[in-house]
Chains A and B, each alone.
Chain A
Amino acid sequence: AQRVTQPEKLLSVFKGAPVELKCNYSYSGSPELFWYVQYSRQRLQLLLRHISRESIKGFTADLNKGETSFHLKKPFAQEEDSAMYYCALTGSGTASKLTFGTGTRLQVTL
């Protein structure tokens, strides 16, 4: 069975501090990993996907198959980063069947 674990419900950091949102997964095969973000009163939207290997809004995430992790990182947090972040995976042939983690609320304070 596939599973995504986000161990932190809430992560509170100061503006300018580094951010790391943790995500571990369980999947027998080659998964595709994603980070979705939901800002206050907005719809869920894709932040980044591991196959793109790009940085979005200063965030990056590296897939570590050995540790089965896909942690989201940003060197300097901004107030506008405050949101709910969900890690998700999908397997081959089930491209729209996303398995989500429980989410981590990132709170950036001054």
Chain B
Amino acid sequence: KAGVTQTPRYLIKTRGQQVTLSCSPISGHRSVSWYQQTPGQGLQFLFEYFSETQRNKGNFPGRFSGRQFSNSRSEMNVSTLELGDSALYLCASREGAVGNTIYFGEGSWLTVV
């Protein structure tokens, strides 16, 4: 099976712009979660989707949003980008709602200038 796939892998945006990151989970996985990784804050949970419904949300401002499609693919969007949004954004998937191993993608490197 292919692993969790994230696109784009690298991107540079300007302050004030918005960005959309995409994640394709492992085939058959219905849960997708997103994390932000920065040198200062480490790995922080953004949100989780299961069967197109948001199940959990981390402590991020409303500029961070996400969605999941019927094929379990997920996107996250960050609007009005700030310099501090520069980070590695990781997507992870799991087969069910609970109890299964979480598999991570390689991440999308976002640089805001």
Contacts and interface: CB of A to CB of B under 8 A. Distances in A.
Interface string B26-46: 000001010100000011110
Interface of A: 43-46, 49, 86, 88, 94-103
For the complex of A and B, list the 4 residue pairs with the smallest distance between their C-beta atoms, beginning with the closest.
A95-B98, A100-B43, A44-B104, A96-B33
Nearest to A98: B45
A56 to B, nearest CB: 12
B94 A96 contact: yes
B106 interface: yes
B85 to A, nearest CB: 19
* B contact patch SS: strand
Contacts of B90: 44
Given A46-B102, A46-B103, A95-B98, 5 more contacts: A43-B3, A43-B104, A44-B90, A96-B33, A100-B35
B56 A97 contact: yes
Given A44-B90, A94-B56, A95-B98, A100 B42 contact: yes
B63 interface: no
Interface in B38-67: 42-45, 48, 50, 55-56, 58
